[in-house]
C-alpha cells in the first residue's frame, strides 16, 4: 500500500485504473512500480497494517524486517524448490483423483475400463433421445458447491504435504468445520489490513464476533496439529524439513513459534504458492 501523495511525488500522476482501497492507500497495477517498491534490496518497508494480522510471532508474510525476512525466506525456499515439490506429487495426484471420484463417480458401464466422466452422466444434446423429457433419460448428479469442495481439497493437500496428515475432508465431515472457521476468520483479516485502527481500538471484537471465534478455532487446531506432529518421527514432509533446516548464510534455525507461524501461512496460502512454483510466467505477474 502506498500513500497517494507519495506515489505522485515519485512516479507521477495517478492513472484512471488506480483505485483507492483504503484511506491514504493506493495500489499500483504497473509491474515496474511493484518491482521498484517490493523488489529485493529496495529501500522500502512493508506497511504498518501488516502488524495488525500478526499472531504472537510474525510469518514471512507479515514480517517487516528485511534482514530477518531474508534468512527465513532462504530456509523456506529450500523446502519449496521445484525438485522438493515434485516429491509430494504422488500424494497430490492421489487426492486430486479422490476429488474427481467424489464429483463424478464412475458409472457401472464405465467401471470395467476404469474411466469416468461427467459427460457420461450428462450427455451432449445430440446424444440424447427424442423424448420430450430427456433429463429423465440421463439424470445428472446433485449440484455441488464447488467453493466448498475446493476448500476441502486444498485443505487436504496442504495438511498432507506439510504435516503428512490427511484429514480426508473429501470423504469425511469430521474436520470440515476448520476451513469454514478459516473462511470466517478471513472476513476480519480483509478489513483490518485496510483499516488497522479497529484492532488497536479493539473494535474488531465487537464488529466481527463470529470472525474472531473462527480465528480462535482455526488457531487452536493448528497449534494442536503442530504439537502432535513434533512428537512423531521425522517424515518426508515440509514440517520435518523446517525442523532440521538452517540458513546456509547465517546458520539460523526456526524456533517452534516461528514454525507455527509458517505452518499457519502455508495452510492459508500454500495452494497459490504450490501452483505458482510451476507457472513461472504467472509467478512473475504475482
pLDDT digit string (tens) for 40-77? 677 777 777 788 778 888 888 888 888 888 899 888 88
* pLDDT beyond 90 at 217: yes
22 strand-pairing partners: 25
Q: Please report whether residue 9 resides in a domain.
A: yes
**Reported pTM:** 0.69
Helix H or strand E encompassing 68:
helix 66-79
CB 53 within 8 A of CB 186: no
Whether residues 77 and 6 share a domain: the answer is: no
Domain-located, residue 124: no
* 243 and 171 both lie in a single domain: yes
Q: How many domains does the chain contain in total?
A: 2
Q: Reduced to 3 states, what is the DSSP secondary structure of residue 167?
A: coil
Q: Which residue has the higher pLDDT, 249 or 120?
A: 249
Q: Is the pLDDT of residue 92 over 50?
A: yes
The answer as to whether 253 is a domain residue is yes
Instruction: Tell me if 225 is assigned to some domain.
Output: yes
Compute how many other C-beta atoms are within 10 angstroms of the C-beta atom of residue 29: 10
Q: Is 42 inside any structural domain?
A: no
Cβ 68 vs Cβ 250: under 8 Å: no
Residue 161, all three cell numbers = 504435504
Whether 79 is covered by a domain: the verdict is yes
| Band of residue 272 on the pLDDT scale cut at 50, 70, 90 | low
Domain boundaries, position 10: 1-36
Residue 276 lies in a domain: yes
**The domain spanning residue 247 has which CATH number?**
1.10.630.10
pLDDT of residue 94: 92
Amino acid at each position: 500500500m502506498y500513500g497517494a501523495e507519495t506515489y505522485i511525488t515519485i512516479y507521477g500522476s495517478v492513472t484512471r485504473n488506480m483505485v483507492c482501497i483504503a484511506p491514504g492507500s493506493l495500489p499500483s497495477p504497473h509491474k515496474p512500480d511493484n518491482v521498484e517498491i517490493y523488489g529485493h534490496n529496495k529501500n522500502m518497508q512493508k506497511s504498518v497494517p501488516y502488524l495488525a494480522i500478526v499472531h504472537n510471532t510474525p510469518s514471512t508474510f507479515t514480517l517487516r524486517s528485511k534482514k530477518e525476512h531474508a534468512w527465513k525466506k532462504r530456509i523456506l525456499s529450500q523446502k519449496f524448490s521445484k525438485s522438493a515439490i515434485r516429491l509430494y506429487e504422488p500424494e497430490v495426484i492421489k487426492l486430486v483423483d479422490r476429488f474427481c471420484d467424489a464429483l463424478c463417480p464412475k458409472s457401472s458401464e464405465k467401471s470395467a475400463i476404469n474411466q469416468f466422466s461427467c459427460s457420461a452422466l450428462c450427455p451432449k444434446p445430440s446424444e440424447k433421445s427424442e423424448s420430450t423429457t430427456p433429463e429423465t433419460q440421463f439424470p445428472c448428479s446433485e449440484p455441488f458447491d464447488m467453493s466448498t469442495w475446493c476448500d476441502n481439497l486444498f485443505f487436504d493437500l496442504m495438511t498432507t504435504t506439510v504435516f503428512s496428515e490427511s484429514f480426508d475432508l473429501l470423504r469425511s465431515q469430521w474436520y470440515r468445520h476448520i476451513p469454514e472457521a478459516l473462511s470466517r476468520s478471513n472476513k476480519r483479516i480483509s478489513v483490518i489490513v485496510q483499516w488497522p485502527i479497529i484492532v488497536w481500538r479493539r473494535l474488531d471484537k465487537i464488529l466481527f464476533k463470529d470472525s474472531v471465534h473462527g480465528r480462535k478455532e482455526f488457531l487452536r487446531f493448528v497449534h494442536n496439529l503442530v504439537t502432535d506432529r513434533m512428537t512423531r518421527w521425522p517424515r518426508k514432509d515440509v514440517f520435518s524439513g523446517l525442523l532440521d533446516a538452517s540458513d546456509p548464510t547465517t546458520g539460523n534455525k526456526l524456533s517452534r513459534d516461528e514454525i507455527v507461524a509458517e505452518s499457519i501461512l502455508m495452510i492459508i496460502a500454500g495452494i497459490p504458492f504450490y501452483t505458482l512454483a510451476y507457472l513461472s510466467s504467472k509467478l512473475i505477474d504475482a
